[in-house]
Amino acid sequence: MTYITKPLVHHPALQKNALGLTRRDYEGTITTLCAGCGHDSITAAIIQAFWELSIPPHRVAKLSGIGCSSKTPAYFLREAHGFNGVHGRMPALVTGANAANGDIMYIGISGDGDSLSIGLGHLCHAIRRNVNVLYVLENNGVYGLTKGQFSASADPGSLSKKGEANTMSAIDGCLLALTLGATFVARSFSGDKAQLVPILKAGLAHRGFAFIDVISPCVTFNDHEGSTKSYAHTREKNVEVVQADFVLPTSAITTAYEPGSVSSVTLHDGSVVRLRKVDEDYNPIDRDIAYSYIRERQTAGEIVTGLLYLSPDSSDVHEQNNTVPTPLSQLAHDQLCPGSAELEKLQRGFR
Amino acid sequence: MSRTNEFAFKIATANGTGSASANGLIMQAIFRMGIPVTGKNVFPSNIQGLPTWYEIRVDKNGYTARTPHFDLMVALNPATYQKDGAEVRSGGWLMYDSTWPLDQKLVRPDVTYLGIPLAEMCNTTFNGARERILMKNIAYAGALAALLDMDTEIIRALLKEKYSRKQALMDSNQKAVDLGYTYAKTHFTCPLPIRLEAMDKTKDSILIDGNTASALGALYAGATVGAWYPITPATSLMEAFKSFCEKYRREPDTKKKRYAILQAEDEISAVGMVIGASWAGARAFTSTAGPGISLMNEFIGLAYYGEVPAVIFDVQRTGPSTGMPTRTQQGDLMMCAYASHGDTRHICLYPADPREAFETATIAFDLAERFQTPVFVLSDLDIGMNDWMIPKLTWDDSYRPDRGKVLTAEQLDELKTFHRYLDADGDGIAARTLPGVHPKGAYFTRGSGHNRYGGYTEDGEEYVDVLDRIDRKIQRAARAIPAPIIRTSPNTRIGLVTVGGCHSACTEALDLLAREGITLDYMRVRGFPFHDDVRKFLESHDLNFIVEQNRDGQLRSLLLLETGIAPAKLESVRYYAGFPLSAHHVITGVKAKLEKAA
């Protein structure tokens, strides 16, 4: 259970980062998710990313909505403030928190029900505002806590655990983000920590809304025959994806493989997803090319992953607002209140 | 019959024609003559072409409530002509545009008709359709100046101030005023028996609407984050805040903003932003109306249970549903008191006029942060959007915000461990921490079940422990909210109880009833949960008339629920047709009940 605390005594030989902290210092409480849940792998990648970047945990605020994914902020960064809000509306909370104090780092954790159904409007507008947050959508195509209903990211024709076919089209978070003017769009896979960690780091470094759709299959409710999010389906279709190296937001994408080459990832249940890295025609700083490429590969049944789009000129909500550098929450009262003499003067206009 | 400085008149036009500036000019001129004056804008939910009215009450005694009796009608809208003509009291006057013949069917024998060829004069004098329409309005202001004996020098000065940088506009306006003035002087006996005479009763007052005053209050209280979704009649609150911030909240050298105003995608998000910003340590607020509160309910429950401050200005309009967006009501009293699912109870403040709207803002932020909970400020369209004459606003420079129990990095350093929901001081209020301050301060804010240590729980006893403490905390807040305004006289057995914007009508009604030998004690409730004085007042009177502006007697219901008073002691007097309450409504209601009881 979440209130069980992990032992804080660690092996002395654990590797330390620039702050002298080990990965254990970036952990939270023990997970309560199903054994083998993809979300736990994402949590591990998040821990790794923060640790590698040597970010002081208490300088981070982690916010989430409601659902399996939204439980996970309890499982990392125990020294960071957490806010488990209401279903789908974390973008509003993080927008407000960021307005009050833009000096700390924000990570928002959400799911496909949270982000693509009940909170779709809030996600869209947080993207439009370009709020400075790393936004992780843990996408499993299904409502887990209520036991197996389709989510808005479920593919048409896919079957629920009870055998019902989904008749509606899917909302693709990455395509949506691209059309809304998102400044950082990535897709990754919970089983691919090597790909995910660099993307998370890039997202944290990005000033603006860093949207990462992470496919995270639900082992309990969406791993059956007929589901397009099941491991069996993935194995059968041999879905090819694009993998991007970790990049700093200011530098170009560098790759370890030849253009067009394919690598394979073995999932925890033994199934394989082959990942293909960015090909020569791809341009991650061209929104239209990114969009049509993802769409084209999607039609071909592939899932394209990697850091798909990065805007070279992102201006976040504070830059747009021209806010003072001191967090608004820390301004002294005399910097805010015009005082009695000014009130007297101002009221001459009310006569 | 001559009545100096004690009459009311009404101007009927179509909206979008620029009549607002003419009406404002008239109001200000009377005010600057030192005569107490109030303006009520009765406007449609529309941009152009629908009927709109402006009611001006001049009262040497200082009564400011709406009056439904009009001595003079400026009837310039043919679409409402018949209705407007019928509203003039017998023996009164009606001004119309005599460019077109007066429909004889509409003529009443007991009303004097004052025809002025406004359109014709303006068409001859001015060029272009727009200017002709605008100046027609200014011309009726000029005619009124002659008919009511307004000080023309004051009008000249007002136009000069308003158009100091637009000479051409000033000239046109002055010309239009002169047109109307000269015509009236030449063709009628001026002034009418209802007339103005300079007094000295407004020098310590201002003319201001409640939304502007609330915005000013938020500015002075140190609010830095405003999140909102535009809605009538609350829009002008955030817009006024924005314009004050533009003026007072720019860093001197860099012109950078010491504020952030976020126009959200809906009211749900707006209040979510407020909660997020308050959670991160800023003073944050939203301005909305009933439909917005309906949407915000879920988040309000989160702030209540997660104990996050939030200030919500609710400028009430008529409900249910869309209702009449440009008409006033007190229809959200019940909803705000218990907003959101589950057991909740919220601090509500009820300002009666713009002056209190200004003062209440500071109180609201202090209470929200001290008690770590949402606070509602319930004004209404009448307070929020109409021009009120109120004593000048004052500010105490020694004021420092009450930020509540927020632990600093130093305090956290000294603490062994921090537990978010632990009632260390026994006052029901647990200390909170802000993100980014100290590793020891970290905790998890959640709307799910939690124990006193801030941990997730599904344990019944742990859950009840926290929920009961929050209840104690809010009940204690009753002592901190403004006490009711109470006026009693010896041996009076009947009380009149009201809330918010009903105040001016009720106090006028009490004076008028007293003249008829009916003496009532008075109490105006200023906050929820109710101060203990509220219960005491109700108990100490045999009968209490509860005056409010909604159909269901929401204040009465709240009083019954919260004070345990016998229902028979509370007699309801309600008016909810959407216009500001008048003394007439109160007197009629009270008398009817008294006669029934007798």
Q: B273 with B194, same domain?
A: no
CATH code for the domain in which residue B11 is found: 3.40.920.10
Secondary structure (3-state) at A78: coil
Tell whether the model's pLDDT for residue A198 goes beyond 90.
no
Closest-CA residue of chain A to B222 = A336
SS3 A123: helix
B423 with B504, same domain: the answer is no
CATH number at residue B528: 3.40.50.920
The secondary structure of B328-360 as a DSSP string is -----HHHHHT-SSSS---EEE---SHHHHHHH
Look at residue A246 and tell me whether its pLDDT is greater than 70: no
Residue B404 maps to a domain? no
B468 is a domain residue: yes
At residue A270 the predicted structure's pLDDT band, cuts being 50, 70 and 90, is: very low
Contacts of A120 (CB under 8 A, 6+ apart): A88, A152, A171
In a domain, B571, yes or no: yes
| Chain B residues closer than 8 Å to A329 by CB | 224, 277, 280-282, 434
User: Which pLDDT score, from 0 to 100, does residue A238 have?
Assistant: 32
| B293 shares a domain with B251 | yes
- pLDDT score of B546: 98
pLDDT classification of A239: cutoffs 50, 70, 90: very low
Alpha-carbon distance B94 to B77, whole Å? 12
Q: Answer yes or no: do B98 and B115 share one domain.
A: yes
pLDDT of A332 > 70? The answer is yes
Name the nearest CA neighbour of A196 among A305, A93, A66, A326: A305
Instruction: Identify the pLDDT of residue A194.
Output: 86
Q: In the prediction, which pLDDT does A202 show?
A: 85
Mutate to test the interface with B, among A32, A101, A326 (most CBs of B within 10 A): A101
pLDDT, residue A191, reads: 82
* Total tally of structural domains belonging to chain B: 4
* B443 and B567 fall within a common domain: no
Of B391, B419, B437, which residue constitutes the final position of a domain? B391
Q: What is the pLDDT of residue A5?
A: 61
Residues of A in contact with B436 (CB under 8 A): 58-59, 61, 81, 101, 103-104
pLDDT at A169: 94
In-domain check, residue B12: yes
CA-based nearest residue in chain B for residue A131? B262
- CB-nearest to B258 from A3, A82, A324 is A324
Inside any domain, residue B399 = no
The pLDDT, as a whole number, for residue A4 is 57
| Percentage above 90 pLDDT, chain A | 58
Whether chain A has a CB inside 8 Å of the CB on B438: the answer is yes
Q: Which of B419, B447, B477 is the last residue of a domain?
A: B477
Contact B455 A82 (CB under 8 A): no
Answer yes or no: do A58 and B264 touch at CB < 8 A.
Answer: no
Q: Is B100 on the interface with A (CB under 8 A)?
A: no
pTM, two decimal places: 0.95
pLDDT of residue A334: 96
Radius of gyration (C-alpha) of chain B in whole angstroms: 27
Candidates A50, A63, A337: best to mutate against B (most CBs of B within 10 A) is A337
Distance from CA of B191 to the nearest CA of A (A): 25
Under 8 Å between Cβ of A219 and A330: no
State the average pLDDT for chain A.
85
Q: Between B404 and A309, where is the model more confident?
A: B404
Residue B401 domain-assigned (yes or no): no
**Which of the four pLDDT bands, split at 50, 70 and 90, describes residue A7?**
low
The answer to whether position B398 is within a domain reads no
Mean pLDDT by 10 residues, chain B (598 residues): 90 88 95 97 88 96 94 94 94 96 86 96 93 93 97 96 92 96 97 97 97 98 98 98 98 97 98 98 98 98 98 98 96 98 98 98 98 98 97 98 98 96 96 97 97 96 98 97 97 97 98 97 98 97 98 98 96 97 97 87
B212 and B197 part of one domain: no
Domain boundaries, position B309:
208-391
B15 within domain boundaries: yes
Indicate whether B465 and B503 sit together in one domain: no
Domains, chain A, ordered by start: 23-326 (3.40.50.970)
Q: Which of A79, A105, A88 is nearest to B302 (CA)?
A: A88
Quote the mean pLDDT of chain B. 96
- Among B154, B187, B202, the domain-final residue is B202
The verdict on B113 and B249 lying in the same domain is no
Average pLDDT value for residue range A99-126? 97
Predicted local distance difference test score (pLDDT) of residue A230: 62
Of B397, B399, B445, the CB nearest to A84: B445
Structure tokens at B154: 């004051």
A297 has pLDDT over 90: no
- Same domain, yes or no: B360 and B320: yes
Pick B447's closest partner by Cβ from A56, A80, A84. Answer: A84
Choose among A82, A91, A340: nearest Cβ to B445.
A82
**Residue B366 to residue B377: CA distance in whole angstroms:** 13
The token pair that represents A77 in the structure block: 């960064």
Question: Based on the domain organization, do B84 and B191 belong to the same domain?
Answer: yes
Which one of A183-187, A264-268, A297-301 scores highest in mean pLDDT? A183-187
Q: Do A101 and B434 touch (CB under 8 A)?
A: yes
The reply to whether B150 and B29 lie within a common domain is: yes
Interacting residues of B156 by C-beta distance below 8 A, sequence separation 6+: B174
Q: Are B37 and B146 in a shared domain?
A: yes
- Looking at beta carbons, which residues of chain B come within 8 Å of A4? none
Q: So what's the pLDDT on residue A273?
A: 28
Q: Are A260 and A242 in contact (CB under 8 A)?
A: no
Q: How far off is chain B from A229, nearest CA to CA, in Å? A: 29
pLDDT surpassing 80 at residue A232: no
In this structure, the strands spanning B51-59 and B37-42 are antiparallel
